[in-house]
A = this chain, B = another copy of it.
Amino acid sequence: MKNKKIFLAEQDIPKQWYNLVADLPEAPAPPLGPDGKPVTPDMLASVFPMNLIEQEMSTQRWIDIPEEVLEILYRWRPAPLRRAVYLEEYLKTPARIYYKDESTSPPGSHKPNTAVPQAWYNKKFGIEKLTTETGAGQWGSALSFACDIVGLECKVYMVRISFDQKPLRKIMMRLWGGNCVASPSEETSFGREILRKMPDTPGSLGIAISEAIEDAVSDKTGKTRYALGSVLNHVMLHQTIIGLEAKKQLKLAGEKQPDIIIGCAGGGSNFAGLSFPFVCDKINGADITIIPTEPTACPTLTRGPFKYDCGDMACKTPLLAMFTLGHSFVPPPIHAGGLRYHGMAPLVSHAVKEGLLEPRAYDQVKCYESALLWAKTEGAICAPETSHAIACAIEEAEKAKEEGKEKVILFNYSGHGLMDLSGYESFLDGKLTRYSLSEEELKKSLESIKDLPEVGT
């Protein structure tokens, strides 16, 4: 009998996070402040607690996971590694397809892997309230969950159009004590300004980030901070528990090493979480193909330039060295909301630049076709973001069949799609567009960053 689920005992959970920065051949370019110089810890102190700022800037290879953080993660971790035997049989591939199942967390995705430590470090630093933004609500619900357990207040600015159209994750946030408001809101001066100018705006992540940061930094008691669910180094760090667990589990399954590693990449965190511990092996000579996958509608890594750009649309964040489509880029309304980000985590971007990763883009129709095949073979219903990893896994399994090679494929099953069933409905109705960014649109959106500095100059 083939072993389909590989569990790790609780005592075998990784006790440290892995920091890729320690092993990169070249140091990544630092974030720049408004003065064009690298940001210092003090400049971030009103936004993040100092213990997380230290992690953000750390070059230490291994960072201990606090025992109390592990105790919270045990609610769903170690997460299962599973083998997609039914898909393999359907494809008649000699490849062995493994996936790390991050859909088993209470909010249903990998997001709480960083929400929990972020809430815990803030609490330890004496913070009483966290603010954040959310689009479809994945991150907002993960942070609400983490704050509820740790004992922090949580305020979530949710992009208005999602707030109105996606009631389910809003209920999840509320259930875990999160205070979720539609953005733009009347609660910040930036929100009020936008509402005065554009009373009917559907909102945007850019606006919501600006409101969440304003809420945090304007609290005169100093007890409020802001939390971000992707992009930053400390977020990638917290997610490496995924790859570290997967490594142990692959050994239990009798595999020496994966040949191909795949993760979908929006801001980059679930991809980094699975892949970074293996990127380390690749730096040390292992022969592994590591593929971040993204939508053709938002092809940051496959078509954007590597440049300094702002993390948000309003340009309130430091400049980050990353692949970007320009901070003014408004992606088409694809269902994979978590992959609609204009930029990419600086660490993921840097690894692409160094030739360690081989990004690919897929259109959403191909992704939903893959998701449907997944549901009809493996049974589970994946998130639209995750379908971008499955599309690539299927492509690679078919290639292995053509080549007659017994390859080991590992991908990250970043979340379930039970809150995103309407996307499946549109697909089954034949209503989905194969969006692909045109040269003209790309050129236009890059206009907004033409005066921003190049990396390394």
Contact = CB atoms under 8 A, between A and B. Distances in A.
Interface in A154-211: 167-168, 171-172, 174-177
Given A1-B11, A10-B5, A418-B418, A149 B379 contact: yes
B376 A176 contact: yes
A419 B420 CA distance: 11
Given A10-B3, A168-B421, A175 B74 contact: no
A375 B177 CA distance: 11
A179 to B, nearest CB: 12
A18 interface: no
A171 B424 contact: yes
A126 interface: no
A171 B421 CA distance: 7
Given A74-B4, A174-B425, A106 B379 contact: yes
A305 to B, nearest CB: 39
Nearest to A11: B1
A106 B381 contact: yes
Contacts of A428: 171, 174-175
A175 B10 contact: no
B106 A425 contact: no
Contacts of A171: 421-422, 424-425, 428
A222 B76 CA distance: 47
A384 interface: no
A267 B91 CA distance: 40
A106 B421 contact: no
Contacts of A23: none
A358 interface: no
A435 interface: no
A108 interface: yes
A138 to B, nearest CB: 13
A175 B381 contact: yes
A415 to B, nearest CB: 12
A121 interface: no
Contacts of A108: 418
Contacts of A1: 10-11
Contacts of A106: 375, 379-381
Nearest to A103: B104
A421 B379 contact: no
B174 A375 contact: no
A181 to B, nearest CB: 16
A75 interface: yes
A3 to B, nearest CB: 7
A205 B353 CA distance: 60
A378 B74 CA distance: 10
Contacts of A329: none
A177 B86 CA distance: 18
Nearest to A145: B379
A236 interface: no
Contacts of A175: 372, 375, 381, 421, 424, 428
Contacts of A75: 4, 86, 378-380
Given A1-B11, A76-B379, A176-B375, 12 more contacts: A1-B10, A3-B10, A4-B10, A75-B86, A105-B379, A106-B375, A108-B418, A167-B422, A167-B425, A171-B422, A171-B428, A174-B425
Interface of A: 1, 3-5, 7, 10-11, 74-76, 86, 104-106, 108, 145, 148-149, 167-168, 171-172, 174-177, 372, 375-376, 378-381, 418-419, 421-422, 424-425, 428
Across the A-B interface, give the 7 residue pairs with the lowest CB-CB distance, nearest first: A106-B379, A171-B421, A75-B379, A7-B7, A418-B418, A171-B425, A106-B380
23 contacts: A4-B74, A5-B10, A7-B7, A75-B380, A104-B104, A106-B379, A106-B380, A106-B381, A108-B418, A148-B376, A149-B379, A171-B422, A171-B424, A171-B425, A171-B428, A172-B421, A174-B424, A174-B425, A174-B428, A175-B375, A175-B421, A418-B418, A418-B419
